[in-house]
Amino acid sequence: MPHTSAMVETKYKRILLKLSGEALMGDKDYGIDTDVVKSIASEIREVHSLGVQTAIVIGGGNIFRGVSASARGMDRAAADYVGMLATVINSLIFQDALEKKNVFTRVQSAIEMKELAESYIRRKAVRHLEKGRVVIFAAGTGNPYFTTDTAASLRAMEIHADVILKGTKVDGVYDRDPMKEGGAVKYDNLKYIDVLKAGLKVMDTTAISLCMDNNLPIVVFNIKETGNLLKIVRGENVGTLVSS
């Protein structure tokens, strides 16, 4: 259950944290850096201890990317299903990391695998959140051709989250890739429509359109910087806010 420090004022009462699989790699080229997972789990525990109801969607790109596999000749639907299984692996590893920090956690999978995770049921997920459990949504939407970004938008709306917090390796949204090009300019605020028009790599277009249609704000921030998650939840300006 959340700790007694729930007296601290928070801007958001229910959040959905979207983590890319790549965020779990640390400096590795592939797989999972357990130190990074432990560090992010500590950040989540801190936010959770304030009474903030927390759901998580994790990508699988650190293990398998459906899109790039289909580009190399694999059937896209088959490749996407393998990618969904990669997200289940990440979710179970994350569950273990959180529970080692005494945060009660449930994994709900969009693909049934009852020995490993609960099947996704919206009302059950909301009940877990209300009881102070962190809920990790695995296997994307359960459908090929949809990314985990879209899954994050969909789940966030289904559970009535106040915001999507997208944790990445960079500290916000830029007009071009700051990792590859010098002089990239960071945005503090963006409108959904500007993200779509400029083709900015915030989330894929389906996810952005869903958020725009339902007026769900997105904050893109650097998950690697300690304390960022807590700052956002407390209402500090961190990263880039995408809204109407």
**Domains of the chain, first to last:** 4-243 (3.40.1160.10)
DSSP assignments along 85-143, one per residue: HHHHHHHHHHHHHHHTTT--EEEEESS--TTTSEEP-HHHHHHHHHTT-EEEEESTTSS
Q: What is the pLDDT of residue 107?
A: 98
User: Residues, the chain, total?
Assistant: 244
pTM of the model: 0.93
CA separation, residue 136 to residues 21, 77, 175, 243 (Å): 14, 23, 31, 24
Q: What is the pLDDT of residue 72?
A: 86
Residue with tokens 């880039």: 240
CA 240 to chain centre: 15
Q: What is the pLDDT of residue 6?
A: 45
> Are residues 137 and 191 in contact, defined by beta-carbon separation less than 8 angstroms?
no
Residue with tokens 């190399």: 72
Residue stretches of the chain with pLDDT short of 50:
1, 3-6
pLDDT per residue over 69-100, tens digit each? 877 889 999 999 999 999 999 999 999 999 99
Residue 189, SS3 per DSSP: strand
Q: Average pLDDT of the chain?
A: 93
